[in-house]
Amino acid sequence: GENVEQHPSTLSVQEGDSAVIKCTYSDSASNYFPWYKQELGKRPQLIIDIRSNVGEKKDQRIAVTLNKTAKHFSLHITETQPEDSAVYFCAARGTGGFKTIFGAGTRLFVKA
Amino acid sequence: DVKVTQSSRYLVKRTGEKVFLECVQDMDHENMFWYRQDPGLGLRLIYFSYDVKMKEKGDIPEGYSVSREKKERFSLILESASTNQTSMYLCASRASGGAKDTQYFGPGTRLTVL
């Protein structure tokens, strides 16, 4: 069945460094790839998304890249800050699909 | 601003009890979802609904049922709660079609089954 794998499961970086989280998906029909951030005790919230017709998207310190051929997509956070500490989930969904398949999550720690 | 609410933040039940988790959204979204979240397993889809009275099984429907009698409300039912259903339950909603792909989550219900 459809699957999204996410790595690493835990990531610790120093404040100001960059953080990269990588995901792979199995369903080649997937064309929408959102990223959610879940702070401790709070609900997941969409932080950025990308569609299959683009290879990269940026929003301030956050960027997402997509390689459709390899079925890889990644989240890049530059100049990390302590408030970036959270669990990040990648996800994938296909055209007309109801189901969004989530990765297992990455717990990011940003050390001050 | 989309608002998705869940009836309880914390719930403690006993094995064998029938449990109802309620979710309400105020944005007239067609699609609603129930997930459970467990450490290391991410968000796993239990059931979803794309219209009133319509429901589809997700990846882990066993031991659960759902009800959608009104568009804004989606209920998750544990017919006979078991300890392995102790988890965080998240409801979500999403509009249908086009660029309206964002899925909005509720605050979650942490259920403990003793």
Exposed/middle/buried for A41, CB within 10 Å: 0-12, 13-18, 19+?
Answer: exposed
Q: Which residues of A touch B108 (CB under 8 A)?
A: 43
User: Is A52's Cβ below 8 Å from some Cβ in B?
Assistant: no
- For B71-103, b/e burial (b = at least 16 CB within 10 A) is bbebbbebeebeeebbbebbbbbbbeeeeebeb
Tell me the per-residue pLDDT of B54-71, one tens digit each, with 9 for 90 and over. Answer: 999 999 999 999 999 999
A96 shares contact with chain B (CB less than 8 Å): no
For residue B98, name the pLDDT band (cuts at 50, 70, 90).
low
pLDDT tens digits for chain A (112 residues)?
678 999 999 999 999 999 999 999 998 889 899 999 999 989 999 999 998 888 999 999 999 999 999 999 999 999 999 999 999 999 998 766 778 899 999 999 999 9
Distance from the Cα of B35 to chain A's closest Cα (Å) equals 10
Of B50, B102, B108, the CB nearest to A43: B108
